């Protein structure tokens, strides 16, 4: 290859890196986000074209791979429902991880006698990529409800995990120093297997409600895996892009943890105590007060300001369109309507925002927790739709509660609270919610979507 063409290829990688940086910056700004995504995707195109100039001895394989991958990607992106977005993000993330693992594997397979530095990078790409892949698959299974969303724990779990980590360390040291020994390939395969196992073991003990943290963290891993792949092929664009993703994933993880008032270690290893403890249960006295559709209608009809608080239950019932319709009717009726969204409501960061945006709720009506809490006292009606732990006043009041200290939306401070709920079951955290028996709370039991549609009919008929 001439110096001239090499310089051009490197220029391509530099341009791609700049486009990624600009794209990520714009993704963080509401007005620019969509353009930012376009900028970053054009960066990817530049990177791919540059790579095509230097990569290939045979194009047949390469073209076939690109076409197959692109077809699957297009179909997945256009067929997914917005309610299934968390699992799609999880599985795409897993694919990025396995790709880095395979890049590492191919490098070792084709050049087993590489220098120590490259071998370490191969191990890192395989390890991080493998954990990201199998972890994302488990997260996918939990989110798509193909496997139980409950935390899985058994005796000796911590011990088993520790054993896996130690084995991984032994394998990597042996492998790094004896890459051409007769047993090296076997060690390498064992290393892959152990990394994949660790990913599974890491995610199964984490419950459905903690998924926003896990997804953000796995996102960070797949970025770091790409980084490691960049060290293998000594390519800066992989290192820059991978590091940017790694950093952004970690920041999102931090934001999610803060929103639950828990440390990352607590989310990954601690888990909440299952079921309410006695002290917590003792706090809850009184009966929930069911309300008829007619009475609910009168309450809403008279309301001057209404705040909706959506939760995962809204996603399950696919009630976002019905929520928006009721919101519009209330607005026409003269009420001020807002949607208060807790940072960890749902199963991925920003889950509720995506669903409400799909239902055409305008951006100005979406309020963050910190904006809506100070005015909650003056709100006439707060409608809680399939949310539980994020409006649980125990987090504020009961020091013995497992979720004590978690910032919540103060729904209970509104003059009247209407809770749409399927049954009186505890939330995902397994904690009783005293909000449901408060003096100012009215319960509307049933499927959220059907309930909302009944309310809409009440408004239309009168």
Query: What amino acid positions are annotated as catalytic residues?
Result: 389
> Read out DSSP for 324-379?
HHHHHHHHHTT-EEEEEE-TT-SSSTTHHHHHHHHTT--GGGEEEHHHHGGGGGG-
Nearer residue to another protein within complex by CB, 318 or 440: 318
Among 351, 421, 442, 449, binds another protein (CB under 8 A): 351
Residues 6+ apart with CB under 8 A from 368: 340, 341, 343
Closer CB to another protein, residue 81 or residue 155?
81
Q: 111 or 161: whose CB is closer to another protein?
A: 111
Considering only residues 237 through 266, tell me which ones interact with another protein, judged by CB under 8 A.
237-249, 251-252, 255
Which token pair is 101? 């693992």
> Whole-angstrom Cα distance, residue 409 to residue 402?
17
Binding test (CB under 8 A) with another protein, winner from 87, 305, 353, 394? 353
- When binding is defined by CB under 8 A, the residue of 18, 350, 437, 447 that contacts another protein is 350
Check the CA dihedral 214-220-223-227 and report its sign.
Answer: negative
Rg (CA), the chain: 25
Query: Which position among 14, 15, 18, 27 is part of the footprint of another protein (CB under 8 A)?
Result: 27
Decide: 341 and 355 in contact? Cβ < 8 Å.
Answer: no
Backbone φ and ψ for 36, nearest 5 degrees, come out as -60, -40
Q: What are phi and psi of 442, to 5 degrees?
A: -120, 135
Nearer to another protein, 85 or 329 (CB): 85
Among 145, 368, 377, 397, binds another protein (CB under 8 A): 368
Residue 215 contacts another protein per CB under 8 A: yes
Applying CB under 8 A, which of residues 1, 3, 4, 78 lies at the interface with another protein? 78
What is the smallest separation between the CB atom of 245 and another protein, expressed in angstroms?
A: 4
**Closer of 213 and 299 to another protein (Cβ):** 213
Quick check: 52 binds another protein (CB under 8 A)?
yes
- By CB under 8 A, what part of segment 418-447 binds another protein? none
262 — alpha (psi -120 to 50), left (phi > 0) or beta?
Answer: beta
The yes or no reply on residue 328 touching another protein (CB under 8 A) is no
Spatial separation of the C-alpha atoms in residues 68 and 83, rounded to whole Å: 26
Site residues for another protein, 86-115, by CB under 8 A, read 88-89, 92-93, 95-96, 98-103, 105-107, 109-111
C-beta separation of 387 from 312 below 8 A = yes
Strands laid side by side in the 441-445 sheet: 366-368, 336-341, 305-310, 381-385, 416-421, 441-445
CA 186 vs CA 134, 179, 216, 275: distances in Å:
20, 11, 33, 45
**Residue 57 near residue 186, CB atoms below 8 Å:** no
Under the criterion CB under 8 A, does residue 152 sit at the interface with another protein? no
Q: Which of 5, 8, 28, 275 binds another protein (CB under 8 A)?
A: 28
Q: Which of residues 295 and 331 has its CB atom nearest to another protein in the complex? A: 331
Range in contact with another protein (rule: CB under 8 A) among 165-173, 304-312, 327-335, 343-351:
343-351
Residues in binding contact with another protein, number by CB under 8 A: 113
Judged by CB under 8 A, the stretch of 321-329, 362-370, 381-389, 439-447 that binds another protein is 362-370
48 touches another protein (CB under 8 A): yes
- Binding another protein (rule: CB under 8 A), the pick from 15, 18, 25, 174 is 25
Nearest to 462 by CA among 310, 264, 300: 300
Residues whose CB falls within 8 Å of the CB of residue 53, separated by 6 or more in sequence, listed in order = 5, 8, 9, 12
Write the interaction track for another protein spanning residues 111-140; mark x where CB under 8 A is met and - where it is not: x-----x-----------------------
The C-alpha atoms of residue 124 and residue 134 are separated, in whole angstroms, by: 15
**Who's near 156: CB < 8 A, 6+ residues apart?**
none
Of the candidates 24, 291, 391, 403, which one interacts with another protein according to CB under 8 A?
Answer: 24
Is residue 62 part of the contact set for another protein (CB under 8 A)?
A: yes
Nearer to another protein, 13 or 436 (CB): 13
Q: Which of 234, 263, 292, 400 binds another protein (CB under 8 A)?
A: 234
Q: Smallest gap, in angstroms, from Cβ of residue 315 to another protein? A: 12
């Amino acid at each position: 290859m001439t110096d001239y063409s090499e310089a051009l290829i490197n220029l391509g990688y530099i341009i791609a890196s700049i486009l990624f940086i600009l794209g990520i910056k714009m993704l963080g700004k509401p007005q620019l986000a969509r353009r930012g995504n376009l900028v970053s995707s054009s960066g990817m195109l530049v990177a791919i074209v540059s790579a095509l100039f230097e990569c290939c001895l045979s194009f047949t394989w390469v073209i076939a791979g690109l076409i197959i991958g692109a077809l699957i990607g297009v179909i997945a992106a256009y067929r997914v429902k917005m309610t299934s977005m968390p699992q799609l993000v999880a599985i795409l993330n897993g694919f990025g991880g396995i790709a880095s693992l395979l890049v590492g594997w191919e490098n070792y397979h084709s050049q087993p006698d590489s220098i120590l530095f490259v071998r370490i990078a191969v191990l890192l790409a395989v390890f991080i990529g493998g954990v990201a892949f199998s972890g994302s698959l488990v997260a996918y299974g939990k989110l798509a409800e193909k496997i139980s969303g409950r935390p899985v724990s058994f005796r000796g779990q911590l011990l088993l995990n520790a054993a896996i980590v130690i084995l991984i360390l032994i394998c990597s040291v042996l492998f790094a120093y004896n890459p051409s020994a007769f047993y090296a390939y076997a060690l390498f395969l064992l290393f892959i297997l152990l990394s994949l196992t660790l990913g599974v073991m890491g995610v199964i003990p984490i419950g459905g409600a903690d998924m926003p943290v896990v997804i953000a963290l796995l996102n960070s891993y797949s970025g770091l895996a790409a980084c490691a792949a960049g060290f293998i092929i000594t390519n800066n664009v992989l290192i820059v892009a991978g590091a940017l993703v790694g950093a952004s994933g970690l920041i999102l993880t931090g934001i999610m943890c803060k929103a639950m008032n828990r440390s990352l270690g607590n989310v990954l290893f601690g888990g909440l105590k299952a079921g309410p403890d006695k002290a917590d249960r003792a706090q809850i006295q009184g009966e929930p007060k069911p309300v008829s559709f007619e009475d609910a209608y009168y309450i809403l009809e008279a309301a001057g300001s209404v705040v909706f608080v959506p939760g995962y239950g809204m996603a399950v019932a696919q009630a976002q369109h019905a929520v928006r319709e009721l919101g519009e009717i209330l607005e026409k009726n003269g009420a001020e309507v807002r949607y208060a969204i807790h940072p960890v409501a749902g199963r991925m960061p920003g889950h509720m925002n995506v669903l409400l945006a799909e239902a055409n709720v305008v951006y100005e009506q979406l309020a963050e927790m910190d904006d809506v809490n100070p005015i909650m006292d003056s709100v006439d009606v707060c409608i809680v739709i399939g949310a539980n732990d994020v409006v649980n006043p125990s987090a504020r009041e009961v020091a013995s509660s497992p979720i004590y200290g978690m910032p919540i939306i103060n729904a209970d401070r509104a003059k009247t609270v209407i809770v749409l709920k399927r049954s009186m079951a505890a939330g995902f955290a397994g904690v009783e919610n005293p909000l449901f028996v408060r003096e100012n709370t009215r319960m509307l039991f049933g499927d959220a979507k059907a309930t909302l549609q009944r309310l809409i009919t009440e408004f239309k008929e009168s």
